[in-house]
Amino acid sequence: MANVIDVLKCKCPNCKNGKMYNQLGNLLLFRVPKMNTHCNECNFKFEKEPGFFFGAMFVSYALISAEMIANIVLFKLIFDFSYISVAILAITTVILLSTFNLRVSRSIWVYMFYSN
């Protein structure tokens, strides 16, 4: 059973020790997360087949939707901000979390198709 912490930390699904990324990425420095092809501990191959991570796009879509809904609930229903402020805050949050979303969506995708 996959541990949520391992998924969020982008650990290798096989040994739970190796890292999927050697560079986390930084939006402010325009750095995209760099993914390892194989686990540095157990040599597990992350990309099962060419185009495997295409599906992670749908996971990313789900994550972004959840973040948008969380923003709307928080800023509109709880704090009652105006619609334009809520839209700006929601878009800003998603932009700031973009590297996180990219890393975690691929991590979730790898864990979804991992079986011992």
CB of 40 or CB of 98, closer to Zn ion: 40
> Least CB distance from residue 43 to Zn ion, whole Å?
7
Distance in angstroms (rounded) separating the CA atoms of residues 62 and 105: 9
Q: Among candidates 56, 57, 90, which has minimal Cα distance to 75?
A: 90
> Least CB distance from residue 2 to Zn ion, whole Å?
13
Distance in angstroms (rounded) separating the CA atoms of residues 75 and 69: 10
Query: Footprint of Zn ion on this chain (CB under 5 A)?
Result: 12, 14-15, 18, 39, 41-42, 44
CB of 12 or CB of 56, closer to Zn ion: 12
